[in-house]
Amino acid sequence: MPLSPSAIDELLNELDCLEREQENIAKRIAAINLLVPTRPSQPSSEHIVPAGITPSNLHFMSSSENYGLRGAIKNALLTGPKPPGAVIHALTESSFKAFGKTPLDTRVYNELGRMKKAGLVKRDGEGRYALVS
């Protein structure tokens, strides 16, 4: 059964988007290869940088880990282990703004639990959280 003209148009549009995304990913990979020329598992001869790519024309997207609640919690824990209440106090003192109906303390407790589960923080016997190095 042949595809309808509208289905073909949608597929072609999706293909264009995927090709643009592929180009952006290739540029990001090339940029990282410029900054980190070798990997321990690969010899440097395997790193190919497309022509025209230089550090001055690179644009990086920042990791979402550095922003938002998780990033604020990480910043609060940089000074050492803290109980959840001290983390909440540090966020309040730093003028961290949380939007939505869920109170900040609930968000912090939940995020600390997710961070512990992901191995980003550890909890000691006194209930204090610390960054995993």
pLDDT tier, 28 (very low <50, low <70, confident <90, very high otherwise): confident
Exposure string over 99-133, b if 16+ CB within 10 A, otherwise e: eeeeeebebbeebbeebeeeebbebeeeebbeeee
Cα–Cα distance list, 54 to 30, 36, 81 (Å): 9, 13, 41
How many other C-beta atoms lie within 10 A of the C-beta of residue 26? 13
Give the Cα separation of 97 and 35 in Å (integer). Answer: 34
Q: Where are the alpha helices (DSSP H) in the chain?
A: 5-35, 68-77, 84-93, 104-117
pLDDT surpassing 90 at residue 85: yes
- Structural domains of the chain in order of their starting residue, each with its CATH number: 5-57 (no CATH), 64-131 (1.10.10.10)
pLDDT 10s digits, 29-47: 888 878 776 666 654 444 4
